[in-house]
Amino acid sequence: MSATLLDLTPAAAAATLQRWVKDHGLPAYRASQLQRRLWQQPIGSWQEATELPLALRTQLEAELPLPRLHPETVQQSSDGTRKYLWRLADGEAIESVLIPSGKRRTLCVSSQAGCALGCVFCATGRMGFRRNLSAWEIAAQAREIVLADPEQRPTNVVFMGMGEPLLNWPAVNTALTILNDPAGLGIGARHITVSTVGILPGMAELAKRPEQFRLAISLHAPYAGERLRLMPVQRKYGLDQVLEAALAFRKRITFEYVLIAGKNDSDADADQLAKLAHRLGAHVNLLPLHPGGGPGLTPTSGNRIRAFAERLRNQGVEAVVRKSRGLDIDAACGQLFVAAEKKRRAQRGVPTLETT
């Protein structure tokens, strides 16, 4: 049996609960009653399931406890963006960001504690890799938000937080099922996006899934040499290989492209990016560099971003400029972690992490 029911797909959890109910001589209907409390109508602990007898709740707490993520820090931006720093049972920490937009509430989730890839514009990359998250730790980032306020239930999920999802494929694979399954959180597959720098084995596995999960490729430069200076992973999984793998992906593809002044925002960059987008039928999300995301890097100006986008559109590419959210909080990936770790180390009299 898994260490926790929350680490199982809904189908596997149902089978486990059916066995548990039978073994304990309980009515069969208890299994579905219990399963609803995992994801559909989640509870923080079995003691909250007041529809169950007290003795059963106590037994469940002892034998099938429900683990939690603990919100160490929650920051609320003036634009409604909310940033969470979750402390894990082993002391590691991860981040999530909830971004409201009209009726849509997009949750950006982490898949690893830290990241080994070292992209120069990402604060998480300066942390280094700590460990993979389990499936429940990934999906529980959404679960905890529902527990705190059911009205804030995410409508969309993007794997664009800390870590590279496709380097943690087994857990991400299960988490995708939990997030999507009607017996889980029931979020439509087309509202779930997995972002990758281009981990080829993981891309192949994701492409095998029948659901219409969305794929986003962290491109950030249209030429191999430029991309290598921004993203060391280019040495292992080259741009041409990544694009070739994406051709076999029969689902909508997005290029994620952080604009950095003097690095990847020239007219020539726009023209080459347009060629790559046409090759895959991809559309492009242009992202302003978050001021805290990459020390030593300068964000492309607003005027230049607009001109870059217009140049893409004039060549028939669907290009969207994403608004920077949470500018008044530590909303860039890894920022809140770094700030929290500096505070924790200062309290213990330990030298702070190098962040520049």
| Torsion sign, CA atoms 336, 341, 342, 346 | positive
Q: Distance between CA atoms of 33 and 28, rounded to whole angstroms? A: 9
Phi/psi zone of residue 198: left (φ > 0), alpha (ψ -120 to 50 degrees), beta?
Answer: left
Give the torsion through C-alpha atoms of 324, 84, 159, 117, to 10 deg: 90
- Tokens encoding 129: 């890799």
Residue that has been written with the tokens 């793998």 in this structure: 245
| Rounded distance between C-alpha atoms, residue 248 and residue 246, angstroms | 5
Question: How many angstroms separate the CA atoms of 285 and 218, rounded?
Answer: 10
Q: What is the set of active-site residues? A: 95, 333
Nearest to 155 by CA among 116, 119, 189, 121: 189
HEC per residue, 10-43 = HHHHHHHHHHHHHHCCCCCHHHHHHHHCCCCCCC
**Cβ 196 vs Cβ 202: under 8 Å:** yes
Rounded-to-integer distance, Cα 264 and Cα 257, Å: 9
Q: Which residues contact 19 (CB under 8 A, 6 or more apart)?
A: none
Cα-based distances in Å from 291 to 15, 230, 258, 294, 324: 48, 16, 12, 7, 10
Distance CA 285, CA 319 (A): 6
What is the three-class DSSP state of 57? helix
